[in-house]
Each structure stands twice: as C-alpha cells, then as structure tokens.
Amino acid sequence: MADLIAQYFPLIVTLLIVGALSGLSAGLFGIGGGSVMVPALFFSFKALGVADDVVIHCAVATSSAIIIVNALRSVRSHHRHGAVDWRLLWPKPFWQSYALWIALGSFLAALWIAPHMSGQALTLLFACVMSVVAMQFIFGRPDWKLRDDVPGGLARPVFGGAVGVLSALMGIGGGSLTVPLMSMCNMPIHRAVGTASGFGFAIALPATIGFIISGWSVAGRPAFSLGYVNGLGFILIAMSAYLTIPLGTRLAHSLSQSRLKLIFGICLLFVAMNMARKALF
C-alpha cells in the first residue's frame, strides 16, 4: 500500500495544483480552465504510460468532465454579480438559445469527430485557434466592434454549433471563443466572461457524454477511466478547482477591462505556443 501511495503521490499533488489553477482561470476568465488542464493532463497521462494514440483524447475528455463542475460554480458566482446574460442562455422559445446549438455541436464533436482525428491534429487545432483568439485580445482595439449586439436568426445554429464543435475538440469551456465574439458585439468584458461560464456548461456536459460513449471500448486508456474520461483526474482536479473559482470571480470584477483583456490574451498565447511545440517537435 505504501508503495502504491508513493507511486501516485507526485501525480496526485500535480493534479491538485492543476485543479486550483483551472478553477482560478474559470472564475477569472470564464474559460473553464481547459487551457490549463489539457496540457497538464496530457503530460500526466504520458508519464503514466498511456498510449500515444489516445493520450490527447483522454486529456481533452477529462478536461471536459471537470469543466461541468467549474462552469456551474463559475456561473453561479458571476450571476451574483449580475454578469450573466440569460437572454442568450435561456430565452423563450428555447430553440433560439445559443446554448442549445453549442450543446449539439459539442456532442457531435465528442461522439464522432474527435475519435477520427489523430492526436497531432487535435493538438495543432488547439494551438491555431488559441493563437488567433489571443492575438485579438492582446492587439485588438477597444473600439473594434463587429456590430452593436449579439446576432440572432441563423447565426445561432451556425456560430453556436461551430463554437460547440471547436470547444469539445479542444477540451475547453468555450470562453476563449465566446468571450471575444461577445466583446466584439458590444458586450462589456465582465458580462461576456460571466455569460461564457454558462456556455461552458452547455459545452462540457454533452461533450463528456459523447467522450464516454466514443471511448468506451478503446484500448490503452489510463486506469480508472470511463470511456475517454479518467475518474482519478476528474475527482482530484474538480475538488481542488471548486475551492478557487470564487477567488477568480472576485479578481475578475476587481480588474479593469483593458487589463483583464491583456492578461487573458497573454495566457492564451503562451498555452497555444506550448501546444504547437508539442505537436511539431
């Protein structure tokens, strides 16, 4: 028993730290912590000897499962500050909800698209999308607007579905995509971050279900896994992240909009460069 604890102790400590950082980022940036968790889980699973052809899939799937908890905690915290636009999350009729189409795209990506993609392709996708988003936050002008409000009509299934697909494939909560889009549609950054937390739940729940189904009989997964979702990583990171999300939320509402955008962009760019390095070298 002592040997077993000694073997897994470094991994347990690492996952607890990752959870604390992901919870902080979920509250601070509304991104669900996926940009922190996916690389950390990738390296942790690699150290455990998980097969190369499934390691990134397990990291993405486990990240999605943890984001369910992070997103629920984060959206409640932001709601207390009045920073969640429920007209986008839960309108009447519900088929006009961005969250609905985001959820459908997320489930499709996890169930069918991700299992047909290589680990290198998933990693490069993560890096490319994150780089574009980061550049917009770092160098985008404060007065750069696409329109005066968030579009409706066909934009809901088109953009909502696309956000769901990309977010599920990268194991993120969608805030790195929806926050800049809502900001360019004249939504204040704090309200965009709060609303993105709600979108994170709409992404993570169906994605997790899809990854469990699609990875059910796949060989080479880490121990204690349900489909592509690893139970040990989920429990430890979710438990740690739950405690730090309110701190991130308080920090988000104490920083200026320009400073919050700069920090958000720099963090995303750093993660994107690291993921590109892993895929190409």
Q: What is the pLDDT of residues 183-238, one digit of tens each?
A: 888 888 788 888 998 999 999 999 999 999 999 989 999 888 999 999 989 999 98
Tell me the C-alpha distance between 10 and 18, whole Å: 12
Closest among 205, 165, 199, 161 to 182, alpha carbons compared: 199
Contact status, residue 27 vs residue 248, Cβ threshold 8 Å? yes
Tell me the C-alpha distance between 62 and 90, whole Å: 27
In this prediction, residues 63-67 reach a mean pLDDT of 92
φ/ψ of 226, rounded to 5, equals: -115, 105
What H or E segment, with its residue span, contains residue 226? Answer: strand 225-226
Closest among 4, 25, 7, 19 to 193, alpha carbons compared: 25
pLDDT score at 208:
97
Contact status, residue 26 vs residue 63, Cβ threshold 8 Å? no
In this prediction, residues 147-169 reach a mean pLDDT of 90
Contact status, residue 202 vs residue 103, Cβ threshold 8 Å? yes
* Identity of the highest mean pLDDT range in 30-44, 77-91, 136-150, 238-252: 77-91
On the question of pLDDT at 254 being above 60, the answer is yes
Which of the residue ranges 150-154, 230-234, 261-265 would you say has the lowest mean pLDDT? 261-265
pLDDT score at 265:
80
Which of the residue ranges 67-71, 78-82, 144-148 would you say has the lowest mean pLDDT? 144-148
Q: Which residue has the higher pLDDT, 143 or 69?
A: 69
Residue 280: pLDDT band with limits 50, 70, 90: confident
The Cα angle at residue 90 between residues 84 and 92, in degrees rounded to 5: 135
For 100-120, the pLDDT digits (tens) are 999 999 999 999 999 999 888
What counts of helices (H) and strands (E) characterise the chain? 11, 2
Residue 98: pLDDT band with limits 50, 70, 90: very high
pLDDT score at 32:
56
- pTM comes to 0.85
Which positions ≥6 away from 255 have C-beta within 8 Å? 263
- What Cα–Cα distance (Å) separates residue 69 from each residue in 66, 179, 241, 242? 6, 19, 9, 7
- Enter the DSSP assignment of 217: T
The C-alpha R_g of the chain, in whole angstroms, comes to: 18
Phi-psi region of 169 (alpha: psi -120 to 50; beta: other; left: phi over 0): alpha
pLDDT score at 227:
96
Residue 30: pLDDT band with limits 50, 70, 90: low
